[in-house]
Structure 1
Amino acid sequence: MKYKQLAALSAALGAAFAAAAETLPVLGEVSVTATREARPLGETPATVSAVKEETLAATRPAHPKDVLNQVPGVWISNLSGEGHSTAIRQPLTTAAVYLYLEDGIPTRSTGFFNHNALYEINVPQSGGLEVSKGPGSALYGSDAIGGTINVLTRTPPVGPEFELGGEAGAHGWGRVLASGGDADADDAWRASLNLTHSDGWQRDAGYDRRAGTLRWDRALADDAMLKTVLSFSSVDQQHVGSLNRAEFHHAPRSNNIPFSFREVDAFRLSTAFERESATTLLSVTPYFRDNRMKIIPSWTVSYDPNRYRTENQSFGFLSKYRMDFVPLRARLIAGFDVDYSPGSRDEDSIALTRTTNAFGGTSYRLDRAVAAVQIYRYDVTFRALSPYLHGEISPLERLRVTAGVRYDDMQYDYTNEFNGGAAGATQGVAGPFPGNGWYGHAASTKVGYHHLSPKLGATWAFTEQLSGFVSYSNAFRAPSESQVFRGSRESSAARAQAQAESLLKLKPVIVDSFETGLRGHAGSLSYELSLYHMTKKDDIVSFQDPLTNQRTAVNAGETLHRGVEAGLGLALARDWRLDASLSYAKHTYETWVVSGTANFNGKEMETAPRLLANTRLSYAPAAMNGGRVQLEWFRLGSYWRDAANTSKYDGHDLFNLRASVPFAKGFEAYASVTNLFDRRHAETSSLSSGAASYTAGLPRTVYAGLQAKW
């Protein structure tokens, strides 16, 4: 069967070339994210952590954080449904400092970043995840600053296969997961479907998800193949806002913004052509993306109530040509990426009524008696042309040196449909702050960004079981379309227009990162250790006034990010295993002056815990025939709520318990308990109007399910 032969071809060619050219084996783990193709982890000068397909199948995550928070240095929060904010070598943030991929293809265009990107991917039915920490701009371009999360699709089976699982849980949770596929001659395919519903544990917090993935692999010849992936997600969820201290402790199920919602539709289609010989690889991947969202954002109700609709389509391709040379095991990769993404924003200012509840919190209601006022309507097309070059060489048997450079030429073509292409300010619905709200509009224009991103790294194989690396990389992040063309609400037309004009001058964020690390194994122990030092200049921040909650996008100085990350796995006995991850980091404002008066120089950044730890003890006796029981302990350290370092969240400890038991041929029962000891905790905590606010985390929650395989 040609498909079976081709499926093993890439691995066989790589192994044969490596065996012929090197005498000292490196670590056997493989990464596909660092260089866009499978490479030995021991020769990768970066920290790359993997969540295996087997881990996903055993954990059955209800939220992506259930597996990603097991990765050293990663903290994913739950922001209702599958919404999330992310911390990887950065404070917890919704900013565009992370890149989300599906089989190496960005799930969104740089100009239309979404911090909730993981809910647009069918994570529970994926073939694993890879987290490449630190900058990745030399291969991936803008946004890959804190890290890159690459979700891998499951490979098709080599014969007929079908899986069906159903589960239920607290707070109206229900999910059906179905997957199956087959192979015949030159073709193999797999289709997966995810149907999820939850009533939400807080009031008016329902959530529905429909997601699917179809992958079709076709062998074209003995050395070439096509891989086509079609994926979609449709998410319909209600939002829950933050709570004050009294609500958090005495009424955590409260929802003070029951009208806030989000409707998301994401569609992606790509076809990767690859032709590989013993010394060359040609890869061309055209893709199409369609992203649409309707939303009344929960986080703007106190200072800028609005509803909007965004749309963007993407037409592009990733391409590269790789050539290997026998002398010094040299390798050269040349690539060229193109992204053309037209999009639009249509936004209204809305009226709300405010009341004070029994706990002193502010409750909001949509005032339908007051007509909404349109405040933005524009089209904007993002275009990126990005050539890159990557090289590797082994001047010594144990030494592998890599270097790369990427040039990004990016441009926004903006058409102001609201004012007929002209500049001007618009008054929205009047509100208590900031007076009669005004919004500025830039005239139709084009805005461009250019950046050259170099990288340099080296790995050293100390022994067959131990390797180390050092690296330097430069990264950047271009402003998102909403930061450039959607100004914040201001108290006068003059201020609003001045701000709109100033946003056109926003500069890209520039990052320089140095890193070193070790990874290896000794007997039943495997381990990894990395240290990093990252400086970020001209960061684009949404500065929030702690008293008024007003937010303004500005470039603001320099931040410093330093940390150490460690992970280990240890087989304690025949049936027991211990896995642990630890991160200790410090994120500080080095030069940070915003709004002319707020000076945070030398302060620690807000929502930036120094300590992150995850420990898992697993028991899998032979008598359970593949089943296991796992106890997980997640430790989140304390962090400052504000940039002035005046208020602190104490952190928390959470315990989770999971178990699975096969009980007949092809059948398995499983259950999990999250927050085992029912600890009151916050997913995030910040300051609002000078007082502590909390995004309440899930109480003790039980899930149970049954899966069958044929």
Structure 2
Amino acid sequence: MRIIFLLALLLVAITGYTQSPVQGTITDEQTGEALPFAYITNLTSQKATVTDIQGRFTIEAQPETDTLQVKNMGYITQTVLAKDAQIVRLQTSVLSLNEVVVSANREQEKRTEAPVAISSISAKTLGDNKPTTIDQVLNQTPGVYMVDLGNEQHTMSIRRPIDYGASYLYLEDGLPIRTSGVFNHNALLEINMANVRNIEIIRGPASSIYGSEAIGGAVNFITQKPSSHPTAGISIQGNDIGYKRTDFYASNTFDKVGIRVAGYYANQQDGTLAYSDFDKLALSLTANYYISQNTELVWSTAFIDYYSDMSGSLDSADFYSKTYGSNQTFTNRQVDALRTKLALNHYWNDVAKTTVTGYFRNNSVKQNPSYRVTDDFKPWIPSGNPNLAHGELNDNSFESYGIIVQHKQEFLWMNSSLISGASADYSPNTYKANYIEIFKNEEGIYESFTETDSVLADYKIDLVNTAAYLQGKIEPVRDLSLIAALRFDQFNYHFENALDSNAYTAVLDGRNSFSRVTPKIGVTYDLKNNRGLYANYSQGFVPPQVGELYRGNKIPTLKPVYYSSYEVGGWMAFANEKARVEATLYRMDGRNEIISVLQNDGSTIRQNAGKTTHQGIEYNLQFQPVDELMFRVSGTNALHKFLDYEESGTDYADKRMPQAPEWIANAQVTYKPQYLKGLRASVEWQHIDGYYMDAGNTRSYEGYNIFNVRLGYEWKAFEIWGNMLNATDKLYATVARANKWGQTYSTGNPRNFNVGLAYRFFKR
């Protein structure tokens, strides 16, 4: 009888502690996206599992008593009761040195295992700063100066002077926004910021993985995936200098199908500069189909409709007197861009993945460009009609059909891995330009123009780019990783000219081919305790762009550009892991660098320079002494100069390159008080050192310091913010140049106040 009683008690105990399957989903708190491959541990039973590609998991647990621990790289570890694990939202870790990056090799990996200088701007950073233009967050990263040219127009400086050439590769989810060979320094006009989750910036050549144009750096905009549960949001904002914008998004996953739609409309009227209105509509649609736990199909489409007046630059008298008029009255830029892609991702097992991506682009840039307006009168000759100027109407359009195939395989032997890939891109490109006569009145205003039958350019080019690449990693000893990569690119330009040999563009029909093997070798050493070192050698390669090679020429003479880069860097956490610092030393030597050269009529042409060198140090420090307070300082000190370059009989060897600040810095203090959850406040400082405005180093710009103040508050589903940009109302130029005509300045905005209101819905 006693035995029967004890057995009964044991049965009750076993029944009381019997575990049952608990199901849940792990998501990003900021975006609602599912987090695949997150690690869940039952702290009671020590059983563990990993989320699938939809962020879902199943684990044995007692719902009322067992505790689950959720870990994912780049996020704060969280513990929850098993009964509360239906939806677990993870917060990003501000000071995490093990953040995940994908741009270093097109695949997800730890930042500490990538031997490159790479920075990541998180969704939280984008949400806290509320940028109206992309430069307002890109310039917070070390070594980056994105130049605001107004109305989302821009150019860039990463390990190079401020320039308008093909030195940077702009990507969306690892795919170039534009086809290689048809670079546009304004390419980021074609990004839908309402659909961006985070941004990764590789500094230095990345040609071994991404190909040409990735020499100064590569900027990868990673778009948001459909959320695992219903989310939606809408916001409105505007400032006191004519800018207005509305953003929206909606997303959900229905069993195996995820959908996200996002977009924004921006408009500016009566801005600081005369003749500077613009409109932009950006729309994106993404659909994920989860075929199985190991296979997903991802389709995405982005459409951009953009129109802007082109006010041009200010001369020195107007700039320093704050006379913000414009001598342009009709110049403009119109961009229509459509991008769509379909990707199949298949995980063969835990150590093998294959991705096949097909894509299509349809892009048109129509312009009556202010930078093509040249006066007939030449004060240094002097001759010509002072009331006559010359310009053009042009249309540069292309379509693209391409495919990229990549496979990653990991091996147990020495913890090694191999990435192999191949791509093919066919992009027919057309360019047409008609000459216009411009009337310039006595006040110097370009008042009107007359279209003519004179054709400056009318050509078609079939661009074909094929490539193959290979990257291997091996760990010969523990914590020491060696990485080697090699890529081969073949570019073929088939040129057909509709004009004859007497035309302004008179290149004969023909073919031009450019090819290059670009290597990369790197090493990382993990010193543990959030400390590590890395070094690499890499090369960059850029063929002449189509417009540089053919437009206005009789014989195509430009040579490809080559870069060799050496860098060493490291990272370290200290102060009980409340602070971290990262630093990189680099040297980049260029051959045949293509630069702009002024002509006697005031126009510019692109020309190869002999040799150049670019060297410096980049650094970033973050310190969070208490949970409420965060300090960040980032910057670069650099030297850019000609080693071998002669122009019009003048030798510029050992001269500093123009538009090349020696010191660029950005710092920010952010305060989020515990006593008032949802409140945030920050002060930001942006510094641009003085630099020479011309290649002869005869004139210089003093640089500038500006301050931005941001304040925001989140309450339940609502958010309100107010940003004061250029708080001290500093007169500054985002870029300053000098030539025979004088000095020109692209003026930065005066002090302006931006306010916004947002509503966000998500399933709790």
How far residue 263 of structure 1 moved from its aligned partner, in angstroms, is: 0.4
Q: Which amino acid aligns with 1:364?
A: Y
How far residue 258 of structure 1 moved from its aligned partner, in angstroms, is: 2.0
Instruction: Please say if 1:100 is aligned against 2:170.
Output: yes
Instruction: Please say if 1:287 is aligned against 2:359.
Output: yes
Asked if the contact 1:61/1:124 (under 8 Å) is kept, the reply is no
CA offsets per residue over residues 516-572 of structure 1, 9 Å max, x none? 101132221022100100000011222124x64332222220100001000011113
Q: Which amino acid aligns with 2:722?
A: A
Q: Compared with structure 1, are the counterparts of its residues 627 and 446 closer, same or farther at alpha carbon in structure 2 (3 Å cutoff)?
A: same
Query: Counterparts in 2 of 1:269-284, with a 5 A limit?
Result: 269-276=340-347, 277-284=349-356
Instruction: Please say if 1:526 is aligned against 2:577.
Output: no
For residue 318 of structure 1, the aligned residue among 391, 404, 408 is 404
The DSSP-based 3-state class of the residue aligned with 1:248 is helix
Distance 1:163 1:440 in 2: 50
Distance 1:627 1:593 in 2: 57
Match of 2:610 in 1: 557
Equivalent residue pairs, number = 665
Asked if the contact 1:294/1:310 (under 8 Å) is kept, the reply is yes
For residue 739 of structure 2, the aligned residue among 688, 696, 701 is 688
CA offsets per residue over residues 455-510 of structure 1, 9 Å max, x none? 000000112310110000011001111011102xxxxxxxxxxx421xx2321100
The DSSP-based 3-state class of the residue aligned with 1:55 is helix
For residue 476 of structure 1, the aligned residue among 541, 554, 568 is 541
Match of 1:265 in 2: 336
Distance 1:145 1:60 in 2: 29
Instruction: Please say if 1:462 is aligned against 2:527.
Output: yes
Instruction: Please say if 1:300 is aligned against 2:366.
Output: no
Match of 2:261 in 1: 191
Asked if the contact 2:398/2:430 (under 8 Å) is kept, the reply is yes
Distance 2:749 2:539 in 1: 38
Instruction: Please say if 1:580 is aligned against 2:633.
Output: yes
For residue 226 of structure 1, the aligned residue among 273, 294, 297 is 297
Asked if the contact 2:537/2:565 (under 8 Å) is kept, the reply is yes
The DSSP-based 3-state class of the residue aligned with 1:622 is coil
Q: Which amino acid aligns with 1:225?
A: E
How far residue 7 of structure 1 moved from its aligned partner, in angstroms, is: 5.2
Match of 1:87 in 2: 157
Distance 2:215 2:496 in 1: 29
For residue 114 of structure 1, the aligned residue among 169, 184, 190 is 184
For residue 516 of structure 1, the aligned residue among 556, 559, 568 is 568
Match of 1:215 in 2: 286
Q: Which amino acid aligns with 1:396?
A: V
Q: Which moved more, 1:639-648 or 1:570-579?
A: 570-579
Q: Which amino acid aligns with 1:469?
A: Y
Distance 2:432 2:234 in 1: 41
Asked if the contact 2:35/2:51 (under 8 Å) is kept, the reply is no
Q: Which amino acid aligns with 1:675?
A: N
Instruction: Please say if 1:636 is aligned against 2:707.
Output: no
CA offsets per residue over residues 17-58 of structure 1, 9 Å max, x none? xx9xxxxxx941111001001111111000000110111111
Q: CA RMSD in A?
A: 2.0
How far residue 691 of structure 1 moved from its aligned partner, in angstroms, is: 2.0
Instruction: Please say if 1:447 is aligned against 2:512.
Output: yes
The DSSP-based 3-state class of the residue aligned with 1:623 is coil
For residue 570 of structure 1, the aligned residue among 600, 623, 627 is 623
CA offsets per residue over residues 99-132 of structure 1, 9 Å max, x none? 0000000000011111111110012441010000
Q: Compared with structure 1, are the counterparts of its residues 445 and 473 closer, same or farther at alpha carbon in structure 2 (3 Å cutoff)?
A: same
Match of 2:76 in 1: none
Instruction: Please say if 1:331 is aligned against 2:331.
Output: no
How far residue 193 of structure 1 moved from its aligned partner, in angstroms, is: 1.3
Query: Counterparts in 2 of 1:693-708, with a 5 A limit?
Result: 693-708=744-759
Query: Counterparts in 2 of 1:141-156, with a 5 A limit?
Result: 141-156=211-226
Query: Counterparts in 2 of 1:409-448, with a 5 A limit?
Result: 409-419=490-500, 424-426=501-503, 439-448=504-513
Q: Which runs of 5+ in 2 are unaligned?
A: 1-22, 28-32, 40-48, 53-70, 72-95, 376-389
Q: Compared with structure 1, are the counterparts of its residues 642 and 356 closer, same or farther at alpha carbon in structure 2 (3 Å cutoff)?
A: farther
Asked if the contact 1:27/1:464 (under 8 Å) is kept, the reply is no
Instruction: Please say if 1:138 is aligned against 2:208.
Output: yes
Asked if the contact 1:2/1:185 (under 8 Å) is kept, the reply is no
Query: Counterparts in 2 of 1:29-40, with a 5 A limit?
Result: 29-40=99-110
How far residue 245 of structure 1 moved from its aligned partner, in angstroms, is: 1.4
Q: Compared with structure 1, are the counterparts of its residues 223 and 15 closer, same or farther at alpha carbon in structure 2 (3 Å cutoff)?
A: closer
Distance 1:337 1:14 in 2: 33
Q: TM-score, normalised by structure 1?
A: 0.91
The DSSP-based 3-state class of the residue aligned with 1:79 is strand
For residue 657 of structure 1, the aligned residue among 700, 709, 712 is 709
* Identity level (%): 28
Asked if the contact 2:433/2:455 (under 8 Å) is kept, the reply is yes
Match of 2:387 in 1: none
Instruction: Please say if 1:235 is aligned against 2:306.
Output: yes
Match of 2:448 in 1: 366
Distance 1:3 1:153 in 2: 21
The DSSP-based 3-state class of the residue aligned with 2:549 is helix
Q: Which amino acid aligns with 1:258?
A: T
CA offsets per residue over residues 661-696 of structure 1, 9 Å max, x none? 124x20111111111011111111111325222111
Instruction: Please say if 1:674 is aligned against 2:674.
Output: no
Distance 1:252 1:273 in 2: 55
Q: Which amino acid aligns with 2:758?
A: Q
How far residue 356 of structure 1 moved from its aligned partner, in angstroms, is: 5.2
Asked if the contact 1:631/1:657 (under 8 Å) is kept, the reply is yes
Match of 2:125 in 1: 55
Match of 2:233 in 1: 163
Q: Which amino acid aligns with 1:128?
A: N
Q: TM-score, normalised by structure 2?
A: 0.84
How far residue 383 of structure 1 moved from its aligned partner, in angstroms, is: 0.5
Distance 1:2 1:139 in 2: 37
How far residue 11 of structure 1 moved from its aligned partner, in angstroms, is: 5.8
Distance 1:452 1:627 in 2: 52
Asked if the contact 1:31/1:40 (under 8 Å) is kept, the reply is yes
The DSSP-based 3-state class of the residue aligned with 1:139 is helix
Distance 1:15 1:605 in 2: 52
Instruction: Please say if 1:401 is aligned against 2:472.
Output: no
Asked if the contact 1:197/1:209 (under 8 Å) is kept, the reply is yes
Q: Compared with structure 1, are the counterparts of its residues 638 and 71 closer, same or farther at alpha carbon in structure 2 (3 Å cutoff)?
A: same
The DSSP-based 3-state class of the residue aligned with 2:698 is coil
Higher relative contact order (CA 8 A, sep 6+): 1
Q: Which amino acid aligns with 2:105?
A: T
Distance 1:652 1:252 in 2: 19
How far residue 3 of structure 1 moved from its aligned partner, in angstroms, is: 9.5
How far residue 440 of structure 1 moved from its aligned partner, in angstroms, is: 3.4
Distance 1:550 1:326 in 2: 60
Distance 1:156 1:198 in 2: 31
The DSSP-based 3-state class of the residue aligned with 1:58 is helix
The DSSP-based 3-state class of the residue aligned with 2:275 is coil
Distance 1:259 1:399 in 2: 60
Distance 2:601 2:509 in 1: 31
The DSSP-based 3-state class of the residue aligned with 1:90 is coil
Q: Which moved more, 1:196-205 or 1:5-14?
A: 5-14
